[in-house]
Amino acid sequence: MNTSHPFSPPEQKYFSTPSLRKFLEQYADIKLSDSSVYRLVMDNKIPHRKAPGGRLLFEISEIKRWIDGGEPQTVEGQP
């Protein structure tokens, strides 16, 4: 009897603040504190979205573009 599940979980599209910090450190050797991330958000210098309850979300593709020197558009609102 085959007990493996044929479905895989959906692809992750957004980072939370802690996962963004971990990704930046691993992917680009950039170390940021929570307050530094918040400052970048307030200055609209990092692409982000605000989820219900005020949670910050960071779209993975936009963050990669931002790191690589592109000019991502910051969109606030629900994902």
User: How does pLDDT run across 8-64, given as a tens digit for each residue?
Assistant: 778 889 999 999 999 999 988 989 999 999 999 999 999 999 999 989 999 999 999
Dist. CA 27–CA 55, nearest whole Å: 23
User: Does the pTM exceed 0.85?
Assistant: no
Please check whether residue 53 lies inside any domain of the structure: yes
Domain range holding 51? Answer: 14-67
Please check whether residue 8 lies inside any domain of the structure: no
Please check whether residue 6 lies inside any domain of the structure: no
Please check whether residue 37 lies inside any domain of the structure: yes
Please check whether residue 26 lies inside any domain of the structure: yes
Domain count, the chain: 1
Asked if residue 65 lies in contact with residue 72, where contact means CB atoms within 8 angstroms, the answer is yes
Please check whether residue 29 lies inside any domain of the structure: yes
Please check whether residue 60 lies inside any domain of the structure: yes
